[in-house]
C-alpha cells in the first residue's frame, strides 16, 4: 500500500482551513477546522469520558447533513465554550444554517483534559476560539506544542511525575485524486509506539526517568483492584479530512476505521479514563472506495499520532521524546 501513496502537507487538502490559538503560559489551546463552504461529517467515540458539543448532529438519524466547523480544544469541559467564538466568527461572515430568522453556524467540538499541566485556571474561551478562526485564514498545519496540543501529555497511569509531553500531530497522503489527512491532539493515558516497528517512542517513565515503564502491564496488574479516580485526565481527539464524496453515515464508518490508527500506536487506548473521539470530514466530490479511504484514515492517523509526540517540546519535569537519551 505504501508504494502508491504520495505524502502531501495537511494544509494542501482542498476545501479546508486549519487554525490554532493557545495560551503558552497556561499551557492550553484550541484548533479549528473550517470548510470553505460547509462539510459532511461523521463521528466515532471510543473513550469512556468524552467532553463534546453538538455531536448528536452527526448521528445518521438526525436531519442535519452539513456542518460548518469542528473545534478541538483543551480545558476539559470548560473548553467547550471556545466554540462560541467559532460561532461568532462564522456568523459575522454570514455562514450558518438558514432558519429564516438567522443563520446558525453548526459547530461540533471535542475537548481533552489538560488541567494537570500549566495553570488549571487557564482554559480556552470564546476569544481563543475566535482567534483560532482568524489564524485559519493562514491555513497552518503545525505539529507539537500548538493549538489543542499545547497541554497534551502521555503515559499518565502513575500520575504527573512520570508522564511525558505530547502535542498536536498531522499527516496527509494522496492516492490518485483522493486526498486523506489526519489531525490529532494526543493526550493519552497510554504509551505511544511506532506503528511499523512497534518501538516505544513516548509514554510512562520509570520513577527515576531513566527508562520507560510499561503502562499496559501496569494497568493489567490492577485487574483485581477497585480504584476510583486512578488517572489524572486524558483523551485523544482528532479529525480525518478528505476530498472524497461521502455522506455522514459513511463518514462515521471511516471515523471508526481511523481508530485502528490509535490502536496501532497507543497502548492502552479507549479506556474509561479516555474520551477518545475521531471526526471524519468531507468537502469534496471525488468518487472513492469507502473501505480504501477508511484504511488510509487509519494509516494517516497512526502517522499523525507519532508526529505529535516527536514534534513536542519538553518542559521541566516533563520531557518529550526528543529529550530522551536512552
In the prediction, which pLDDT does 47 show?
Answer: 81
Q: Measuring CA to CA, which residue among 69, 65, 123, 63 is closest to residue 91?
A: 69
User: Within its chain, how far is the Cα of 104 from the centroid?
Assistant: 25
Distance CA 108, CA 58 (A): 9
Q: CB count, 10 Å around CB of 57?
A: 19
Residue count of the chain = 326
**pLDDT tens digits, 106-137:** 999 999 999 999 999 999 999 999 999 999 99
Distance CA 296, CA 186 (A): 19
Buried b (16+ CB within 10 A) or exposed e, 170-187: bbbbbeeebbbbbbbbbb
* Residue ranges making up the domain that contains 102: 2-323
**pLDDT tens digits, 49-64:** 889 999 999 999 999 9
CATH number of the domain at 124, please. 3.60.70.12
In the prediction, which pLDDT does 227 show?
Answer: 57
Q: CB count, 10 Å around CB of 194?
A: 17
Q: For 56, phi and psi rounded to 5 degrees?
A: -65, -20
Cβ atoms of residues 298 and 261 within 8 Å: yes
Distance CA 299, CA 283 (A): 20
In the prediction, which pLDDT does 272 show?
Answer: 82
What's the pTM value of the predicted model, to 2 decimals?
Answer: 0.95
User: Within its chain, how far is the Cα of 75 from the centroid?
Assistant: 14
- On the question of pLDDT at 326 being above 80, the answer is yes
Distance CA 48, CA 154 (A): 17
Task: Tell me the three cell numbers of residue 12.
Answer: 494542501
In the prediction, which pLDDT does 1 show?
Answer: 47
- Taking CA atoms, 72 is separated from 76, 147, 317, in Å, by 11, 8, 26
Distance CA 138, CA 17 (A): 8
In the prediction, which pLDDT does 246 show?
Answer: 98
Count how many domains the chain has.
1
pLDDT band, residue 204 (cuts 50/70/90): very high
Distance CA 295, CA 280 (A): 13
- Positive/negative CA dihedral, 168, 147, 294, 270: positive
Q: 3-class DSSP state for residue 38?
A: strand
As a whole number of Å, the CA-based R_g of the chain is: 18
- On the question of pLDDT at 233 being above 70, the answer is no
Task: Tell me the three cell numbers of residue 120.
Answer: 488549571
**pLDDT tens digits, 212-231:** 999 999 889 887 665 555 45
Amino acid at each position: 500500500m505504501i508504494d502508491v501513496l504520495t505524502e502531501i502537507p495537511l494544509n494542501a487538502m482542498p476545501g479546508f482551513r486549519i487554525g490554532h490559538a493557545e495560551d503558552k503560559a497556561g499551557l492550553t489551546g484550541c484548533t479549528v477546522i473550517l470548510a470553505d463552504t460547509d462539510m459532511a461529517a461523521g463521528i466515532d467515540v471510543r473513550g469512556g469520558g468524552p467532553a463534546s458539543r453538538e455531536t448528536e448532529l452527526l448521528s445518521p438519524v438526525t436531519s442535519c447533513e452539513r456542518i460548518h466547523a469542528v473545534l478541538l480544544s483543551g480545558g476539559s469541559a470548560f473548553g467547550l465554550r471556545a466554540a462560541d467564538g467559532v460561532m461568532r466568527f462564522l456568523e459575522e461572515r454570514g455562514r450558518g444554517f438558514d432558519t429564516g430568522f438567522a443563520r446558525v453556524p453548526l459547530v461540533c467540538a471535542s475537548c481533552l483534559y489538560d488541567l494537570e499541566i500549566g495553570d488549571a485556571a487557564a482554559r480556552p474561551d470564546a476569544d481563543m476560539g475566535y482567534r483560532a478562526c482568524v489564524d485559519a485564514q493562514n491555513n497552518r498545519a503545525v505539529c507539537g506544542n500548538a493549538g489543542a496540543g499545547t497541554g497534551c501529555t502521555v503515559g499518565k497511569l502513575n500520575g504527573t511525575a512520570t508522564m511525558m509531553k505530547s502535542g498536536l500531530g498531522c499527516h496527509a497522503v494522496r492516492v490518485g485524486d483522493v486526498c486523506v489527512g489526519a489531525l490529532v491532539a494526543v493526550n493519552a493515558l497510554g504509551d505511544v509506539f511506532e506503528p511499523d516497528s512497534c518501538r516505544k517512542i513516548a509514554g510512562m517513565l520509570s520513577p527515576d526517568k531513566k527508562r520507560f515503564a510499561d503502562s499496559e502491564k501496569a494497568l493489567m496488574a490492577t485487574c483485581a483492584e477497585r480504584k476510583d479516580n486512578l488517572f489524572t485526565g486524558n483523551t485523544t481527539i482528532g479529525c480525518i479530512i478528505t476530498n472524497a464524496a461521502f455522506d455522514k453515515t459513511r463518514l462515521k464508518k471511516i471515523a471508526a476505521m481511523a481508530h485502528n490508527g490509535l490502536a496501532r500506536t497507543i497502548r492502552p487506548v479507549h479506556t474509561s479514563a479516555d474520551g477518545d473521539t475521531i471526526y471524519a470530514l468531507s468537502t469534496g466530490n471525488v468518487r472513492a472506495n469507502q473501505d480504501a479511504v477508511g484504511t488510509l484514515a487509519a494509516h494517516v492517523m497512526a502517522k499523525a499520532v507519532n508526529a505529535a509526540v516527536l514534534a513536542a517540546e519538553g518542559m521541566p519535569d516533563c520531557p518529550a521524546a526528543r529529550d530522551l537519551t536512552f
